[in-house]
Amino acid sequence: MELSGISALSAILKRPVEPRNDALAQRRELSAELQTSCQQLVILLKDSFYRFVPQMSEADFQFSEKKIMDLKADCQHADGPLQEDDSPILRHLSIDMRFKDFVQSTLDFYKLAQRLKPTLNEYVPDAAALQALSKSEDPTKFIRVLQGEMENRLDRVNQEYMKVMALKFSW
């Protein structure tokens, strides 16, 4: 199962931007698109996490232990290769210092999603992966941790988005 939604929703980051005369209005529109994309990514990832919880045998636990540890490591090291300069939209938004915090929160969110994507794509077919946290750990606990991290980052994006939307049209 390919999580193509992550690629599709992340495509907004690579889209070129033609600056307009109404720069603040344009930046607000772009911010709204990014915020919506982040919300859709959380929904996609939550749905993916819930698919990981079938019944497992003892052999499945041992087979998948390394895979789940890789997934945990990906979540802990969420600083991916994505940089502000890699995205025309983020670059355009960051020109205006009032958008800097929004850009950073969005960047942090997408870094986590992009770090999770390869691991999720690789291990989604192996439903045993999430069950293999350990014989004593509840796999739903790990799912809640992943969801919590995504939601925390989305909350930060939403907070910064609200600040951006409250900006006045003058410097």
For residue 155, pLDDT beyond 90: yes
Range in 14-18, 64-68, 115-119, 162-166 with the lowest mean pLDDT? 64-68
- For 76-81, the CB contacts below 8 A with 24+ separation are 77/115, 78/108, 78/111, 78/112, 78/115, 78/149, 79/111, 79/115, 80/111, 80/112, 80/114, 80/115, 81/114
Looking at residue 93, its pLDDT comes to: 93
Domain boundaries, the chain: 4-165
Residue 57: both structure tokens together: 């045998």
Nearest alpha-carbon partner for 111 in 90, 130, 125? 90
Q: What is the mean pLDDT of residues 23-28?
A: 93
Is 140 exposed, middle or buried (CB count within 10 Å of its CB: 0-12, 13-18, 19+)? middle
The letter for the amino acid at 66 is: K
Looking at residue 132, its pLDDT comes to: 56
pTM surpassing 0.85? Answer: no
Task: Classify residue 23 by its DSSP letter.
Answer: H
Range in 3-12, 69-78, 148-157 with the lowest mean pLDDT? 69-78
Higher per-residue confidence, 85 vs 66: 85
Nearest alpha-carbon partner for 133 in 75, 74, 77, 66? 66
